[in-house]
Structure 1
Amino acid sequence: MEINDVLKELDASLRGNYYLLRCPECGKKEAFLYLDDIKKFQKNSTYKIPIRCNRMNKCGKITYLNDIINVPIQIQKMPKEKSPVQISEEGINFIRSFVHYSVETIHCEYKDFDFDIRGISNKTLKENGVFYYSKGFEQIVNSDELKRSFSKKYRNKSYKGRNIFIPIFDIDGKLVRILLRSTKNVEKKEIGLMLIQGSTEVWNLKDILDSKKKTVVITEGVYDALSFREVNKKLGIVSLPGVRKYRQIISIVKDNIDICKDKTFVIATDNDEAGQKAKEKLIEEFEKMEINYKTFDLGIHKDANEFLQENRIGFSLKAKKL
């Protein structure tokens, strides 16, 4: 049996630098398999290819592609698959121009963006590049001049009503992704818009590289990170796109170890099983690299933003001590 046959059985779909597929343990399509692991196997046939379930609070098991079948997997070249970025170059350039205008030219000062979000002030949101565009993302993809630049997947219901834009930039300051949220009640609170396949998913990674930011807080969500910035402007903040992606933070720290040796990282992942596991992994990696770190106690609150909203004074006092 070939790798492709196994991936097909597990209903795998390519998402940038990894496959999303069904977990062999729980059967839910919430497991992932990195392309790098397949490449390692192609170089060394004894290497075991891990499949990691993302349901950390319900399953979270790690199984191995090699163990699913009874005969050895044949080494083969992986086929080229359709890119998950189904936007033309013209469409990507327009989005980049739109975000540049919104963030750099008018500094997020749209006339109808005059409200706070989840306890985070309008001023803090704008200063950190988060903006509200009342016409929403769907107005962009449905405009006459850009219709052909976006595939039909960007017109499904999950993209409707998305009017909060949270840009993500890479280490060179290039826009590579946008997190889309809504002021309305939508089924999924946040979806990602990828502009470059395999690009970073870490929000505000520039604070890791800023030598003036001696303390950098790591959170799971952007609103959690902005909760710290709301009460302590001196703190550096970065946000993970999910606790399973902690490796992206570690990779950035390793690549910039000289700068990071002079920093203290504050781990403020969510107060649940998945968040605790991510915290343990971050601590393990930081200790290996001899990086200074501390943890932030959320008390009875599930995350930093809930702490801010439910006990602003208590959260503020605690965050200002960092």
Structure 2
Amino acid sequence: MGFEYKDELKELLPEYMDILEEQGKTENRGDGYWTCPFCGSGDKQNYTAAFHINGTRFHCFSCGEHGDIFDLVAYMEELSEDWKKHYNRAVRIMRPYLEGRKNTVKQEIQNNPRMLETVDYSAYLQECSLNVAKTDYFNRRGLSIDTIKRFRLGYDEKRNLVTIPYNQDCKGYVHRVLWASDNKYCKFGNELFNVDALYSGDSRYVLITEGQIDAMSFEEIGISAIGLGGVNEVSKLVCQLKEIPCDKTLVLALDNDKAGRRATGKLIEELADTEIVQNYIVNSRLYGEYKDANEYLIGDREGFIKKMSPFKK
């Protein structure tokens, strides 16, 4: 059909940002500013960001990336340098808007998450996995080679960031930039990390942590754990348990700070509200002087192993 929608698609850049926000890949800061999908810049505390949209163009004053909707689609979908592919994918994603359904598209995404084409990240994540030895980031976080290989952790040398697949199917991942940034993480998809731990293995317990690195810190010492992906994701776990019940005892091991305690309370409330029959344990002194599992692992590995040993049963 040629490129007859080129101009219309360029005008839909703000709407595409709304879609990315629905997918957890950016956040609207108001006045045309967003957290940057490229470098993650954005101060959550002050609600400021360097990524700005002006008409049909975007520009990040932090990392310098700039362009239009086609450039952004190409980056987010990890497309090759083929403008026709950029255009065709943009048409596919933005078709509801092109067909005049602007006011309902966000609701359609919420009701039908598969409306957007599922992106296959496996080739990219495999390439990053092959390059993981080029960074010592995961080693500095206390993770062994076996854990790095098991979770297919990777390194994108060109973009200087590490990749963490949510699960073995590599349908989604989170990356962490390795330079100074207000927002170091960016999500591609939004899944529970290591969700199989809820249902596999002989242990009676599974630890519930905020982040992927924290979950891997427990797995590093032989304890089953999953990562929520942030304090705002407790509902995602409740939905998972409602859909597929878990017969293990959950150990609520969120961060040892105000946000973590608040999220723990919210999780308990939601479990009660949905009347899910689920055994769980809360230990306010689980981490002692440390903020989270990974900080404990790095700061006192032997102490961490000893303190958490009861959960290996």
* TM-score, scaled relative to structure 2: 0.58
Task: Tell me if the contact between 1:207 and 1:213 (Cα under 8 Å) persists in the aligned partners.
Answer: no
The unaligned stretches of length 5 or more in structure 1 are: 1-11, 31-54, 60-75, 137-159, 195-199
Quick one: distance in 2 between partners of 1:167 and 1:98? 11
- Tell me the residue number matched to 1:47: none
1:1-322 aligned at under 5 Å gives the runs 13-14=18-19, 15-16=21-22, 78-80=103-105, 92-93=119-120, 95-99=121-125, 101=126, 108-110=129-131, 112-113=133-134, 115=136, 116-133=139-156, 135-136=157-158, 160-162=159-161, 164-169=162-167, 174-194=169-189, 200-210=190-200, 212-231=202-221, 233=222, 235-257=223-245, 260=246, 262-287=247-272, 288-296=275-283, 297-322=286-311
Q: Secondary structure at the match of 1:254?
A: helix
1:198-256 per-position Cα deviation (integer Å, ceiling 9, x unaligned): xx42111122232645321111111111111122x1x2211112111100001001111
Unaligned runs of 5+ in 2: 1-16, 36-43, 48-100
CA 222–276 in structure 1, closer or farther in 2 if over 3 Å, else same: same
Equivalent residue for 2:79? none
Number of residues of Structure 1 aligned to a counterpart in Structure 2: 219
Give 3-state SS (helix, strand or coil) of 1:92's partner: coil
With over 3 angstroms needed to count, the CA separation of the structure-2 counterparts of 1:113 and 1:321, relative to structure 1, is farther
1:63 aligns with none
* Distance in 1 between residues matched to 2:180 and 2:244, nearest whole Å: 40
CA contact (8 A) 2:132 2:155 kept: no
**8 A contact 2:135–2:155 mirrored in 1:** no
- With over 3 angstroms needed to count, the CA separation of the structure-2 counterparts of 1:131 and 1:161, relative to structure 1, is closer
Shift of 1:270: 0.9
Q: Per residue, is there more helix in 1 or in 2?
A: 2
Change (3 A) 1:226 1:17: closer
Distance in 2 (CA, whole Å) between partners of 1:319 and 1:218 is: 13
Which whole-Å CA distance do the structure 2 matches of 1:186 and 1:125 have between them? 24
Shift of 1:183: 4.0
Query: RMSD value over aligned CA atoms?
Result: 3.8
The structural deviation recorded for 1:166 is: 0.5
> Whole-Å Cα distance in 1 between the matches of residues 177 and 200 of structure 2?
31
Q: What is the CA deviation profile of residues 73-112 of structure 1, one whole-angstrom value per residue up to 9, with x for unaligned ones?
A: xxx98343699x9xx97x934x32333x459xxxx45473
Q: Deviations over 1:23-80 (max 9, x none)?
A: 9xxxx989xxxxxxxxxxxxxxxxxxxxxxxx7x999xxxxxxxxxxxxxxxx98343
| Alignment partners' CA distance in 2, 1:181 and 1:203 | 15
Residues 175 and 230 of structure 1: CA distance in aligned 2, closer, same or farther (over 3 Å) = closer
Higher RCO (CA < 8 A, seq sep 6+): 2
Residue type of the alignment partner of 1:220: E
Matched letter for residue 307 of structure 1: Y
Find the residue that maps to 2:295 and give its secondary structure: helix
- Aligned-pair identity (%): 27
Secondary structure at the aligned position of 1:180 is classed as strand
SS at match of 2:225: strand
Of stretches 219-228 and 288-297 in structure 1, the one that deviates more from structure 2 is: 288-297
